[in-house]
Amino acid sequence: MSPAARGAPGWCRGGLLFLCVVTLFATVDATAKHLVGRYPAPFLNAVRYAATLAVAVAMLAMSGQLRGRLRFWDTPHRGLLVVRGLMLAVVGTCFMTALLWMPLAEATAIYFMAPLMVVGLSPWMLGEKVGSRQWLAVAAGVSGMLLIVRPGGAVSWLGTVLMLAATLAYAMLQLLTRRMAGQVDARVQYGVAALICMVATGVPAPFFPPPVWPDMADWLAILAMGLMSAAAQVLLILALQRAPASRLAPLNYFHLLLALLYSALWFGRWPDAMALAGIALIVVAGLTQTLPAPAAMSTKRGIR
């Protein structure tokens, strides 16, 4: 049996798990958009990350990481782990707050500039070489963003600034994760990030109490948002154990399709023609980063 045939079942399982991850994250975003108009973002994030932390503690306990306290706290790159956790807290806080002023589809499209920001930052943070094709993709992504957020358009500049901050933080998170790859257990990265996010969002939460406490339906929606986020993180680890990240990356854009559908069907808003053109440009630019160059495709076609 060829290597491609042996790897096919793993790729299929990894791909299906990753589609579940993308669906969960898109649903979390839509639920946040639904709730953030009635409840402060710090309050929602604190409850969300409390659920995430509970799942992280359970994972670490089952893996034996909590039995050896010194082994856990002697993990290498502790400083980078802290910065990574803070970046994730910035992502959650800025993304959710931006949804107060931005439609879901346009906000998600700007967020998907993160892979292009990774390309732009990787020469300085990772010492990686970036070619002209990658820089052209970055320029195309920025052009797409400007089509969405254009002078005189309906998209809020305040929401845009917050979403760009979330996007930059997410790009930094990816770069830090790549830098620690193979050196820090993924479950430890997840657990430390969950703890830092809980602290970072829990400290300001008492200063932003909800004007009216959630009813039972909203409490269930808030808790479901946290559990979906935690489940997505766990499934992401499982998916990456079964298929390479490079092959899963194009499936990320299913998230953007779901955001468009949620925006239209749940919130009754389709992006206008210019915004749709900008979204398409960001998708095309992002996909060029995940698909191999023509030369690479011709040399590797026989071993797929």
The reported pLDDT for the residue numbered 11 is 66
Query: Are the C-beta atoms of 100 and 44 separated by less than 8 Å?
Result: no
Own/partner pairs for 150-153, CB < 8 Å, 24+ apart?
Answer: 150/274, 153/274, 153/275
Least confident of 36-40, 170-174, 240-244: 240-244
How many domains is the chain built from? 1
The reported pLDDT for the residue numbered 295 is 46
Q: Which of 257, 230, 206 is nearest to 92 (CA)?
A: 230
The mean pLDDT value for 209-236 works out to 88
pLDDT greater at residue 197 or residue 114: 197
CB atoms under 10 Å from CB of 4, counted, come to: 11
Cα→Cα distances 21→7, 26, 108, 163, 228, Å:
21, 9, 15, 21, 9
The reported pLDDT for the residue numbered 10 is 60
The reported pLDDT for the residue numbered 246 is 61
The reported pLDDT for the residue numbered 37 is 85
Question: What is the per-residue pLDDT across 238-256, written as a single tens digit (0 to 9) for each?
Answer: 787 777 766 776 777 788 8
Query: Are the C-beta atoms of 194 and 49 separated by less than 8 Å?
Result: yes
Sign of the dihedral through C-alpha 58, 173, 237, 46: positive
Query: Are the C-beta atoms of 31 and 221 separated by less than 8 Å?
Result: yes
Arithmetic mean of pLDDT over the chain: 78
Least confident of 68-77, 111-120, 124-133, 292-301: 292-301
Q: Which of 153, 127, 169, 191 is nearest to 276 (CA)?
A: 153
Cα→Cα distances 127→87, 104, 130, 179, Å:
21, 35, 9, 11
Q: State what percent of residues in the chain have pLDDT above 90.
A: 12
Residue 88 has pLDDT above 60, yes or no: yes
CB atoms under 10 Å from CB of 276, counted, come to: 17
In three-state form (DSSP H/G/I as H, E/B as E, the rest C), the secondary structure along 100-136 is CCCCHHHHHHHHCCHHHHHHHHHHHHCCCCCCHHHHH
Domain housing 196: 3-303
Residue 140 has pLDDT above 50, yes or no: yes
The reported pLDDT for the residue numbered 162 is 92
Query: Are the C-beta atoms of 41 and 95 separated by less than 8 Å?
Result: no
Sign of the dihedral through C-alpha 17, 23, 26, 27: negative
The reported pLDDT for the residue numbered 262 is 92
pLDDT greater at residue 179 or residue 2: 179
Helix (H, G, I), strand (E, B) or coil at 43: helix
Residue 6 has pLDDT above 80, yes or no: no
CA angle centred on 2, ends 13 and 17, rounded to 5°: 5
State how far the Cα of 41 lies from the Cα of 59, in Å rounded to an integer: 27
The reported pLDDT for the residue numbered 70 is 41
The reported pLDDT for the residue numbered 8 is 57
The reported pLDDT for the residue numbered 2 is 42
The reported pLDDT for the residue numbered 94 is 92
The reported pLDDT for the residue numbered 218 is 93
What is the value of pTM for the model shown?
0.76
> What confidence tier does 300 reach under pLDDT thresholds 50, 70, 90?
very low
The mean pLDDT value for 185-205 works out to 82
Residue with structure tokens 């960001």? 282
State how far the Cα of 145 lies from the Cα of 139, in Å rounded to an integer: 10
State how far the Cα of 188 lies from the Cα of 93, in Å rounded to an integer: 22
